[in-house]
Amino acid sequence: AQSVTQPDIHITVSEGASLELRCNYSYGATPYLFWYVQSPGQGLQLLLKYFSGDTLVQGIKGFEAEFKRSQSSFNLRKPSVHWSDAAEYFCAAEGGGSYIPTFGRGTSLIVHP
């Protein structure tokens, strides 16, 4: 079955530190891949997406993600975290022309001052 796994339920970092949120997928072929962010009381907003081509994808708010086919991973990174980055982050995948994204369970990012 197709699935998206985010191994970390919570991640705590200090402001200014680097960040990496993990995402693994299980699909028959390489799916489209997405990262969304949900700020408290808000809906989800797209950070970045990968369809094909360059495996390092740049997104909004200083985020980037790297697609690694050999590891079935699409990890999200940011070199220096700001307090305003505290939020819930969701990885999602869409495959086989379904137009139906499957979401991971989310990772809650806590930022300490």
Partner 1 sequence: DADVTQTPRNRITKTGKRIMLECSQTKGHDRMYWYRQDPGLGLRLIYYSFDVKDINKGEISDGYSVSRQAQAKFSLSLESAIPNQTALYFCATSTGAGELFFGEGSRLTVL
Q: What residue ranges bind partner 1 (CB under 8 A)? A: 6, 9, 32, 34, 36, 41-46, 49, 51, 90, 92, 94, 99-101, 103-106
Token couple for 77: 């990174």
Give whichever of 15 and 101 is closer to partner 1, judged by the CB atom.
101
In 3D space, the residue among 5, 10, 6, 3 whose CA is nearest the CA of residue 110 turns out to be: 10
In sequence order, what are the residues at sequence separation of 6 or more whose Cβ sits closer than 8 angstroms to the Cβ of residue 32? 49, 50, 51, 93, 94, 95
Q: Name the minimum Å distance from CB 80 to partner 1.
A: 26
Q: Name the minimum Å distance from CB 34 to partner 1.
A: 7
| 85 within 8 A of 19, measured Cβ to Cβ | yes
Whose tokens are 């339920």? That residue is: 9
Q: Name the minimum Å distance from CB 49 to partner 1.
A: 6
How far apart CA 104 and CA 22 sit, in angstroms, is 10
Give whichever of 15 and 108 is closer to partner 1, judged by the CB atom.
108
Give whichever of 3 and 80 is closer to partner 1, judged by the CB atom.
3
Q: Name the minimum Å distance from CB 43 to partner 1.
A: 3
